[in-house]
Amino acid sequence: MSQKISRRDFLKITGVSSAALAALTGCGPASRFVVRKPYPDMPEYNQTGASTYFATGCRECPAGCGLIVRTQEGRAIKVEGNPDFPVNYGKVCSRGLTAVQGLYNPDRVQGPLKQASRGSSSFEKIDWETAIPIITSALLKNEPSGVAFLMGLAPDHLYDLVAEITQTLGSPPPLRYSALGMFEGRTTLLQAVNNIFHKDSLPFFDLANADYVLSFGANFLETWLSPVRYSRAYGSLRQGIPGRRGYLVSFEPRQSLTSANADEWIPIKPGSEGLVIAALTKLVAEIKGIEGASDHSELDVAQVANTADISLKKLQEIAHAFASADHPLAIPGGQLASHANGLAATQAILALNGMVENLGKKGGLFLIPSTSVASNFSEIQALVSRMSRGEIKALFIHGVNPVFDLPSALGFQEALKNVSLVISFASFPDETALQSDYILPDHTPLESWGYQHVLAGADRPTYSASQPVVVPLYDTHATADVLLTALKESGKVPYQDEVDFLQQKLLPLLQRGGGFYTAPEILTFWSKWLQYGGWWTPTEGLEKPNGSSTPPAPAANVAELQEGQFFFVTYPTLFGDGSGANRPWLQETPDPMTTVMWNSWVEIHPDTARKLGVKDDDVVKISSPAGEIEASVYLYPAIRPDTVAIPFGQGHTALGRWAEGRGCNPLQVLNVQFNEAGDLAFGDTIVSVTPTGRSRKLARFESREGVYGSQH
């Protein structure tokens, strides 16, 4: 019998309408020691039966949206978007919505644990008094160069703190990695911006005001950079301006949700993106009569069209429409960056924007006025090789699950064996945590303090503020506090605790001013910071890119397929970097394109499937030199016949009851090869497909009949 909570078990809302019902009131006394007490012991400002709303920041992906969390009787009930927050304006995606299923997940690590031996899953409970000296000695007793931090793309405050700590200790700076960052080609994009516009920041594409948009593998409606922001902009692109409807053309081998919403989807051959961009550049230059595209002059457009599997006429049409549009915009995505020539292709897209003169104009390309840092993939590889050589004595892992998130060909898990001490700060017993010596769990995001510097989705300088919306459920400690406590006696860090660190970090914002609120001193600033869920400027503040230089034409990068070989596409889903797989409602939410729930699938074009002799739900083996995986077939009508695709996010061997033993991890077949910016060129992976003769039914939300065009 399940847990039954009837309406009667709760007190009904009384007619109270004052502070409790107004959103954005939620900080209570301006103290760092504010805790949200549970039902039996509620603070006086919490009224039984009335909800309290707290503004906080979303940490489900690096986009950093602002949230309002409805709490009642000390429990987080519902995640809603912060309507004032200049990234998501009150909107929120599936991942953000299920944050409470992360917070209240029964599989969480409930306190510090020591593992008997790595991978044994035999844990011994320890207490924090035992755990902290271990960190102290790991940080101070080891060679500074033997201490390494591997962190995720969120949260930023912890990264900033760790960066300071490593600098003080003389250790190498922390590395940041996220599968999402890899999939969106973040480093490549940064590098491209740097090469073309000479700035270390991410570009901002004013999709909402554009009228003719070319997207090269940018899945901005799913996970790319700031999906909620770009989804919102997409809505405006379509119907935001009366009498006008923006046109979207998407180039990629497999139809993603973004391509599905495009007016035209051009399934070009994987690897030919660079050539197509070069050809478009040439055509646009010809149409606009621009000199200086000389680098492209020898390019045979007809041949490019032939190589890329697109009709010459279509290419010319698109070039013409793009050149003559009022507000043309070209967007380089992760799929583009995932080839060996990804950097050149991304640069060419940025230059194409320059050519149609949309830089810094409405509906064009801008630069975010803040610098971004991201570790590129070759730095991760360098870390792995240092680990294998035994040079790393202590490895701290936070916010990332590298055993799962890194291609297994990289050998992270093997390299981990040569690290003397591995400490994971994971909230869940994930694959990496099971390969570490200690799990010293951090709070989950809804229990945490922090900030996130919005680097991609806001049109103005923006920080999102995290605050605990509920009292921590278990014996977990904020990692920032753990590190600060560990180093307290050494006197190497000037911060009392996490909140002190945050407040000191906020001082520059207070002094600089320009935000939509000001305060005479830090405590007032802090309370407003928490109340509004962050800090941002009242007016737009995007930078106009300048100093555009003409990049070299992207080199050809089209592989020849042998018989039985296929191009391989993998893409992130609702699970984000894979950590969403243990949330039952993310598993139960159907994949938008295939409506599959709770498992992995291989997308194969129906014609190809016929040739291979497989049908829906047949299990096939996908193998590459790097490895092999198995998954059930989904006959996907919107993929190139020479390409197969597997979504990323499933295939966990740990993490929790809803994630384990489900589907496969496509990163196991990725070859480790890089593009010019040092990002993983995962798009160049070529696989072969073999039927296994078995069949495993996928849980599909849609009918198996009637959805391929035979509808009424």
Partner 1 sequence: MANTENTGKWGMVIDTDRCTGCMACVTACAMENNIPWTGEEEAGYGRGMHWIRVQRLWHGEYPEVKPEFTPTMCQQCGHAPCEPVCPVFATVHSEAEQINLQVYNRCVGTRYCGNNCPYTARTFNFFDHEFPTPMDFYLNPDVTVRRRGVMEKCTFCVQRIHKGQEKARAEGRPVKDGEIVPACAQACPADAIVFGDMSDSESQVSHIARSERRYQLLPELGTEPRVTYLKGGGYYGG
Partner 2 sequence: MAADAQSLTDMQIARYEEEEDPRQHLMFDPRPREEMNRMVLEAMQTTTPRYWITVGILGLLVALLLFGAWGNMILNGIGLAGVRPPIYWGIFIVTFVFWIGISHAGTFVSAILRVFKAEFRRPFTRAAELMTTFGLAAGALYPLIHLGRVWVFYWMMPYPNARWLWPNFRSALVWDFLAITTYLLSSTIYLYLPLIPDLAMARDRTEGWRHYFYMVLSLGWRGTEAEWLRLRKAIGIFAFAIIPVMFSVHTIVSWDFAATQVAGWSSTIFGPYFIVGAILSGVSAVITILFVLRSTMKNMKYFIRPEHFNALGKLVLVFSMSWAYFFFNEYLLHWYGGYKVVRDLLMHHATGPAAWIWYTMLICNVAIPWLTLWNKKIRSNPTAMFVITLLINVGMFAERYTIIPLTLGYQRFPFNWGQYTPRLTEISIVLGTFCLFIFLYMVVSRLIPLVPVWEVQEGQHAHTLRKVGKSEVPSVTELD
If the CB atoms of residues 100 and 465 are measured against partner 1, the closer one turns out to be 100
Q: Does 19 bind partner 1 (CB under 8 A)?
A: no
CB of residue 239 to partner 2, shortest distance in Å = 24
* 354 contacts 280 by C-beta, under 8 angstroms: no
CB of residue 602 to partner 2, shortest distance in Å = 22
Tokens representing 571 are 């893409």
3-class state of residue 239 by DSSP = helix
Cα–Cα distance list, 239 to 209, 221, 243, 244 (Å): 11, 16, 8, 7
* 614 contacts 626 by C-beta, under 8 angstroms: no
Instruction: Find which of partner 2, partner 1, none residue 337 binds, CB within 5 to 8 Å per kind.
Output: none
CB of residue 449 to partner 1, shortest distance in Å = 21
- Half-sphere exposure of 219 toward its Cβ, with a 13 Å CA cutoff? 26
Instruction: Find which of partner 2, partner 1, none residue 360 binds, CB within 5 to 8 Å per kind.
Output: none
3-class state of residue 357 by DSSP = coil
If the CB atoms of residues 120 and 710 are measured against partner 1, the closer one turns out to be 710
* 246 contacts 231 by C-beta, under 8 angstroms: no
**Pick from 409, 474, 479: which is nearest to 449 by CA?**
479
Q: Does 712 bind partner 2 (CB under 8 A)?
A: yes
CB of residue 321 to partner 1, shortest distance in Å = 14
CB of residue 701 to partner 2, shortest distance in Å = 8
Binding range to partner 1, per CB under 8 A, among 24-32, 95-103, 137-145, 415-423 = 95-103
Q: Does 702 bind partner 2 (CB under 8 A)?
A: yes
Q: Is 8 exposed, middle or buried (0-12, 13-18, 19+ CB in 10 A)?
A: exposed
- Chosen residue from 605, 674, 680, 684 binding partner 1 by CB under 8 A: 605
Q: Does 706 bind partner 2 (CB under 8 A)?
A: yes
If the CB atoms of residues 18 and 703 are measured against partner 2, the closer one turns out to be 703
Q: Does 562 bind partner 1 (CB under 8 A)?
A: no
Residues numbered 658 to 677 that lie near partner 1 (CB under 8 A) are: 662
Residues numbered 175 to 204 that lie near partner 2 (CB under 8 A) are: none
* 42 contacts 48 by C-beta, under 8 angstroms: yes
Q: Does 24 bind partner 1 (CB under 8 A)?
A: no
Q: Alpha helix locations (H) across 326-441?
A: 334-337, 342-355, 377-388, 402-405, 412-416
Instruction: Find which of partner 2, partner 1, none residue 705 binds, CB within 5 to 8 Å per kind.
Output: partner 2
If the CB atoms of residues 154 and 635 are measured against partner 2, the closer one turns out to be 635
CB of residue 712 to partner 2, shortest distance in Å = 6
If the CB atoms of residues 263 and 702 are measured against partner 2, the closer one turns out to be 702
Q: Does 3 bind partner 2 (CB under 8 A)?
A: no
Q: Does 10 bind partner 1 (CB under 8 A)?
A: yes
Cα–Cα distance list, 246 to 119, 249, 359, 657 (Å): 53, 10, 18, 44
Residue 286 identity (one-letter amino acid): E
Separation between Cα atoms, residue 112 and residue 476, nearest integer Å: 7
Separation between Cα atoms, residue 683 and residue 564, nearest integer Å: 18
DSSP, residue by residue, 291-334: S--GGGTT--HHHHHHHHT--HHHHHHHHHHHHH-SSEEEEE-H
CB of residue 163 to partner 1, shortest distance in Å = 32
CB of residue 702 to partner 2, shortest distance in Å = 6
CB of residue 470 to partner 1, shortest distance in Å = 8
CB of residue 2 to partner 2, shortest distance in Å = 10
Please identify which residue in the block is written with the tokens 């760092």. 32
If the CB atoms of residues 233 and 416 are measured against partner 1, the closer one turns out to be 233
With CB under 8 A, what is the number of residues at the site for partner 2? 9
Q: In 64-207, which ranges are E strands?
A: 66-72, 75-81, 113-115, 123-125, 147-151, 175-176, 203-205
CB of residue 43 to partner 1, shortest distance in Å = 18
Taking each helix axis as running N to C, give the angle between helix 128-141 and helix 479-488, from 0 to 180 degrees, rounded to the nearest 10. Answer: 70
Q: Does 170 bind partner 2 (CB under 8 A)?
A: no
Please identify which residue in the block is written with the tokens 């904020």. 478
**Pick from 308, 291, 323: which is nearest to 554 by CA?**
308
Q: Alpha helix locations (H) across 449-492?
A: 479-488
Longest CA pairwise span in the chain (Å): 77
Instruction: Find which of partner 1, partner 2, none residue 6 binds, CB within 5 to 8 Å per kind.
Output: partner 1
Binding range to partner 2, per CB under 8 A, among 423-431, 509-517, 555-563, 699-707 = 699-707
**Cβ neighbours of residue 523 closer than 8 Å, sequence gap 6 or more:** 30
Residues numbered 348 to 367 that lie near partner 2 (CB under 8 A) are: none
Instruction: Find which of partner 1, partner 2, none residue 704 binds, CB within 5 to 8 Å per kind.
Output: partner 2
If the CB atoms of residues 400 and 644 are measured against partner 1, the closer one turns out to be 644
CB of residue 362 to partner 1, shortest distance in Å = 20
Binding range to partner 2, per CB under 8 A, among 40-48, 306-314, 608-616, 703-711 = 703-711
- Chosen residue from 34, 97, 669, 670 binding partner 1 by CB under 8 A: 97
Cα–Cα distance list, 690 to 629, 635, 684 (Å): 11, 15, 20
Instruction: Find which of partner 2, partner 1, none residue 634 binds, CB within 5 to 8 Å per kind.
Output: none
3-class state of residue 2 by DSSP = coil
Q: Does 101 bind partner 1 (CB under 8 A)?
A: yes
**Phi then psi for 656, rounded to 5 degrees?**
150, 175
DSSP, residue by residue, 31-66: -TT-----GGG--TT--TTS-EEEEEE--SSTT--E
Separation between Cα atoms, residue 164 and residue 162, nearest integer Å: 5
- Length of the chain measured in residues: 712
Instruction: Find which of partner 1, partner 2, none residue 79 binds, CB within 5 to 8 Å per kind.
Output: partner 1
CB of residue 250 to partner 1, shortest distance in Å = 11
Separation between Cα atoms, residue 275 and residue 469, nearest integer Å: 50
Residues numbered 130 to 169 that lie near partner 2 (CB under 8 A) are: none
- Chosen residue from 66, 81, 354, 534 binding partner 1 by CB under 8 A: 81
Q: Does 6 bind partner 2 (CB under 8 A)?
A: no
Residues numbered 623 to 652 that lie near partner 1 (CB under 8 A) are: 637-638, 641
Residues numbered 635 to 674 that lie near partner 2 (CB under 8 A) are: none
Binding range to partner 2, per CB under 8 A, among 92-100, 222-230, 665-673, 702-710 = 702-710
Residues numbered 423 to 482 that lie near partner 1 (CB under 8 A) are: 473
Separation between Cα atoms, residue 690 and residue 694, nearest integer Å: 11
* 521 contacts 30 by C-beta, under 8 angstroms: no
Q: Does 13 bind partner 1 (CB under 8 A)?
A: yes
Separation between Cα atoms, residue 286 and residue 299, nearest integer Å: 12
Q: Does 227 bind partner 1 (CB under 8 A)?
A: yes
If the CB atoms of residues 117 and 710 are measured against partner 2, the closer one turns out to be 710
Cα 116 → chain centroid: 33
- Chosen residue from 266, 368, 542, 629 binding partner 1 by CB under 8 A: 266
3-class state of residue 251 by DSSP = strand
Instruction: Find which of partner 1, partner 2, none residue 492 binds, CB within 5 to 8 Å per kind.
Output: none
Identify the helix (H) or strand (E) that includes residue 103. helix 99-103
Instruction: Find which of partner 1, partner 2, none residue 45 binds, CB within 5 to 8 Å per kind.
Output: none
* Residues of this chain that bind partner 2 (CB under 8 A): 702-707, 710-712
